[in-house]
């Protein structure tokens, strides 16, 4: 069942055996898992995949575990929905959402990467798993470490949203709130990783961890009937997801499960944390680190680890990149909730807002198929919309009181037109 | 000529086991050229097949990333310091940059010499200003975590104010 040849440097292509390492000793480039695609091609068919349980593990030949997963066995295969009401507002024909805001168990796409990383950590024999996180990763590592009976140490910026703090602590982890930005947390973790033999899912296990993101792309392709949309809009923080969705499509093409991938991949960031967008717009291929300031805290990474490759993905696929303000993010969250009934976190607001911008600018043609990547759940970032969505109307428990507040239009029991509800 | 070039730990043995190499050149490109001619083992580690500096190596001149200046054409002069730093952390020892502020009564003491002498750390002054009444030094300290922490604790005990330098964010 194992089709992994080893690790390979993404830059100089030097090969390494499977170990918990992430940097090439020779050129300092990042390492990536290297598969025997020829062998997979002969062994994996659409029918074989379709006959398996509806989880991300139905693509296990393209994931870097030696054995069966030991945690997160039910992760993935989240709904892919047609979004006709949102399409109407955007003025487009063919719009889809891949909805990881209901991913199992911690309501974000991070469960995909963490279930691979923690299962791999157990294969390596680690006793402690750890991570630097903007919140979603923290929730997922804490939950899956609990499931895997491992100790966990989780490092986050100390000023995270309450939902993400509580949603981590409940699992009985060691949560460290670091006084600093995510980039400072990450740097601290790199130092800790050098001095402790722990499995840092997004540092020394990064090559394995990142592979989990490919399943987001695999599922899109399978759920659309083994084809891919013409446009995919992806929120970017560290830049790994966008890179791996593209890699996922390309891999399916390589092993013969998809023909002719022509998708244009578009990157989305918040204006207050847009190092990848800035580089794209300036036409350079390196990232100027920033100090992020945005309500989209899950995307607030000023020095993205995979920024270079995210840029490369956008350019290679013929895609584009945009950013949106905090107000536009909130509008995006409200719009998605009020058209499609999906409450996404701030990152989802970024994706919706950026998609709208790219459509309005004519960069995404209105008659082509578009997929928006919804990666996290709105219940985790409630602070962001506090006072932005109105208040309940408080009344005495009397019918006459209710009569006072109901409008004549509401009295007629007519359907409220969609436009009015937005 | 003397441009100081700081060699990252993984490349030290290719540069004659030196942390700091005194190099020649009027620009970063010339200094890199000089380095790879003087220590041929460094060539393939610093440059790719096209001769470009490898993507995951960052070069700083006096703390400023050369991509923010003029890349390899960035001019350098005697006394400047060039740092070659892998973009992704992965080495085995710590390198931290701190600013030390000395109380007036300690200005005349050889504190930096002392920490290098007492603990297994390598110190490297990046910038400094010492007068009769005030003294501060931005110092790079290289060493195992335990030794680094001992050095920092010693500095604090003798009344030196120790602050991390924020700018040096390398992930």
- Give the domain CATH number at A120: 3.40.50.1100
**Residue B13 belongs to some domain of the structure:** yes
Q: Are A147 and A189 members of one domain?
A: yes
Q: Are B42 and B114 members of one domain?
A: no
Q: Closest CB to B56: pick one of A29, A186, A288.
A: A29
Query: Is residue A280 predicted with pLDDT exceeding 60?
Result: yes
Residue where a domain stops, chosen among A209, A234, A267: A209
Residue where a domain stops, chosen among B86, B120, B154: B86
Count CA atoms closer than 13 A to A143's CA, side-chain side.
Answer: 25
Q: Are B39 and B73 members of one domain?
A: yes
Confidence of residue B168 (pLDDT cuts 50, 70, 90): very low
Tokens of A300: 């607030």
Location of structure tokens 């100390």: A158
Our CA-based measurement puts residue B111 at a distance from the nearest CA of chain A, in whole angstroms, of 26
pLDDT at residue number A268 = 98
B73 Cα distance to chain centroid: 20
pLDDT at residue number A414 = 57
> For chain A, how many structural domains are there in total?
2
Q: Are A122 and A148 members of one domain?
A: yes
Tens of pLDDT, residue by residue over A315-327, are 999 999 999 999 9
Confidence of residue B148 (pLDDT cuts 50, 70, 90): confident
Confidence of residue B170 (pLDDT cuts 50, 70, 90): very low
Q: Closest CB to B171: pick one of A186, A288, A308.
A: A186
Q: What is the mean pLDDT of residues A402-415?
A: 81
Q: Tell me which residue range forms the domain holding B117.
A: 94-164
Tokens of B55: 């993507």
Q: Are B38 and B55 members of one domain?
A: yes
Residue B169: list chain A partners with CB under 8 A.
Answer: 183-184, 187, 289, 303
Q: Are A192 and A202 members of one domain?
A: yes
Q: Are B53 and B108 members of one domain?
A: no
Confidence of residue B122 (pLDDT cuts 50, 70, 90): confident
Residue A194: list chain B partners with CB under 8 A.
Answer: 89, 91-94, 145
Least-confidence region, from A72-76, A169-173, A188-192, A301-305: A188-192
CA gyration radius, chain B: 17
Is the pLDDT higher at A421 or at B159?
B159
Q: Are A39 and A100 members of one domain?
A: no
- B169 vs A: CB within 8 A: yes
Our CA-based measurement puts residue A207 at a distance from the nearest CA of chain B, in whole angstroms, of 13
**Residue B23 belongs to some domain of the structure:** yes
Q: Are A158 and A188 members of one domain?
A: yes
- B133 vs A: CB within 8 A: no
Residue where a domain stops, chosen among B86, B117, B137: B86
**Residue B170 belongs to some domain of the structure:** no
Q: Are A68 and A99 members of one domain?
A: no
Using alpha carbons, list the distances in angstroms from residue B16 to B36, B41, B53, B85, B89. Answer: 12, 10, 21, 18, 23
Contact A190 B55 (CB under 8 A): no
Q: Tell me which residue range forms the domain holding A248.
A: 80-107+212-385
Query: What residues 24-63 of chain B have any CB closer than 8 A to a CB of chain A?
Result: 45, 48, 54-57
Using alpha carbons, list the distances in angstroms from residue A154 to A87, A239, A345, A352. Answer: 39, 21, 21, 30
Q: Are A162 and A202 members of one domain?
A: yes
Q: Are A227 and A312 members of one domain?
A: yes
pLDDT at residue number A368 = 98
Confidence of residue B169 (pLDDT cuts 50, 70, 90): very low
Q: What is the mean pLDDT of residues B1-30?
A: 91
**Residue A116 belongs to some domain of the structure:** yes
- B94 vs A: CB within 8 A: yes
Query: Is residue A252 predicted with pLDDT exceeding 80?
Result: yes
Q: Are A198 and A102 members of one domain?
A: no
Q: Are B121 and B76 members of one domain?
A: no
pLDDT at residue number B167 = 41
Least-confidence region, from A8-12, A64-68, A342-346, B116-120: B116-120
- Cβ pairs bridging A and B (under 8 Å): 66
Q: Are B119 and B58 members of one domain?
A: no
State the CATH number of the domain containing residue B112.
Answer: 3.30.70.260
pLDDT at residue number A419 = 60
Confidence of residue A125 (pLDDT cuts 50, 70, 90): very high
- B17 vs A: CB within 8 A: no
Q: Are B80 and B129 members of one domain?
A: no
User: CA A49 to CA A62: how far, in whole Å?
Assistant: 11
Confidence of residue A204 (pLDDT cuts 50, 70, 90): very high
> For chain B, how many structural domains are there in total?
2
Residue B55: list chain A partners with CB under 8 A.
Answer: 11, 29, 286, 308
**Residue A328 belongs to some domain of the structure:** yes
Confidence of residue A271 (pLDDT cuts 50, 70, 90): very high
Q: Indicate the average pLDDT of chain A.
A: 95
**Residue A308 belongs to some domain of the structure:** yes
Least-confidence region, from A177-186, A348-357, A374-383, B110-119: B110-119
User: CA A298 to CA B125: how far, in whole Å?
Assistant: 37
Residue B87: list chain A partners with CB under 8 A.
Answer: 28
Q: Are B121 and B64 members of one domain?
A: no
Q: Closest CB to A22: pick one of B67, B87, B90.
A: B90
Confidence of residue A58 (pLDDT cuts 50, 70, 90): very high
User: CA B69 to CA B167: how far, in whole Å?
Assistant: 16
Q: Are B72 and B124 members of one domain?
A: no
Query: Is residue A57 predicted with pLDDT exceeding 90?
Result: yes
Output the pTM of the full model: 0.83
Query: Is residue B64 predicted with pLDDT exceeding 80?
Result: yes
């Amino acid at each position: 069942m194992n089709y992994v040849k080893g690790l390979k440097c993404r830059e100089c292509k030097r090969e390494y055996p499977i170990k918990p390492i992430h940097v090439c000793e020779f050129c300092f480039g990042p390492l990536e898992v290297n598969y025997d695609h020829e062998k997979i091609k002969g062994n994996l068919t659409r029918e074989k995949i379709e006959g398996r349980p509806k989880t991300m593990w139905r693509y296990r030949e393209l994931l870097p575990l030696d054995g069966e997963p030991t945690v997160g066995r039910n992760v993935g295969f989240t709904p892919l929905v047609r979004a006709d009401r949102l399409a109407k507002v955007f003025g487009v024909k063919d719009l889809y959402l891949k909805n990881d805001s209901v991913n199992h168990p911690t309501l974000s796409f991070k469960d995909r990467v963490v279930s691979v990383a923690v299962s791999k950590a157990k294969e390596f024999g680690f006793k402690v798993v750890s991570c630097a996180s903007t919140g979603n990763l923290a929730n997922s590592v804490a939950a899956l470490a609990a499931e895997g009976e491992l100790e966990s140490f989780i490092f986050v910026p100390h000023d995270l949203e309450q939902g993400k703090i509580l949603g981590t602590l409940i699992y009985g982890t060691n949560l460290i709130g670091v006084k600093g930005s995510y980039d400072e947390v990450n740097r601290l973790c790199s130092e800790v990783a050098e001095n402790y033999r722990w499995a840092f899912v997004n540092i020394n296990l990064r090559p394995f961890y990142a592979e989990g993101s490919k399943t987001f792309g695999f599922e899109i392709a399978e759920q659309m009937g083994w084809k891919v949309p013409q446009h995919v809009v992806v929120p970017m923080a560290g830049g790994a997801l966008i890179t791996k969705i593209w890699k996922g499509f390309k891999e399916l093409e390589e092993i013969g499960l998809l023909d002719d991938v022509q998708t244009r991949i578009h990157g989305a960031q918040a204006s207050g944390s847009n190092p990848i967008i800035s580089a794209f717009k300036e036409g350079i291929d390196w990232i100027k680190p920033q100090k992020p300031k945005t309500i989209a805290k899950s995307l607030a990474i000023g020095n993205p680890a995979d920024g270079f490759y995210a840029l490369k993905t956008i350019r290679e696929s013929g895609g584009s990149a945009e950013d949106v303000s905090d107000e536009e993010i909130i509008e995006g969250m409200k719009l998605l909730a009020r058209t499609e009934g999906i409450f996404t976190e701030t990152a989802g607001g970024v994706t919706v807002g950026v998609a709208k911008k790219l459509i309005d600018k004519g960069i995404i043609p209105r008659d082509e198929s578009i997929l928006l990547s919804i990666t996290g759940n709105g219940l985790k970032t409630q602070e962001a919309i506090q006072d932005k969505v109105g208040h309940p109307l408080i009344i005495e428990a009397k019918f006459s009181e209710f009569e006072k507040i109901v409008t004549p239009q509401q009295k007629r029991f007519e359907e409220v037109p969609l436009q009015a509800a937005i | 000529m003397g441009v100081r070039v700081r060699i990252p730990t993984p490349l030290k043995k290719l540069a004659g086991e030196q942390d700091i190499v005194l190099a020649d050149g009027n620009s970063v490109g010339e200094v890199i050229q000089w380095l790879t001619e003087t220590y041929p083992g460094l060539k393939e580690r610093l440059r790719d097949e096209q001769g470009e500096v490898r993507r995951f190596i960052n070069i700083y001149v006096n703390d400023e990333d050369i991509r923010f200046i003029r890349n390899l054409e960035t001019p350098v002069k005697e006394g400047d310091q060039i740092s070659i730093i892998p973009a992704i952390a992965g080495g085995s020892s710590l390198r931290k940059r701190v600013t030390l502020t000395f109380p007036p009564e300690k200005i005349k003491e050889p504190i930096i010499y002392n920490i290098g002498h007492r603990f297994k750390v390598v110190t490297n002054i990046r910038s400094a200003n010492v007068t009769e009444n005030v003294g501060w030094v931005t110092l790079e300290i290289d060493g195992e975590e335990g030794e680094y922490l001992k050095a920092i604790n010693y500095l604090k005990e003798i009344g030196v104010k120790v602050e991390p330098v924020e700018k040096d964010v390398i992930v």
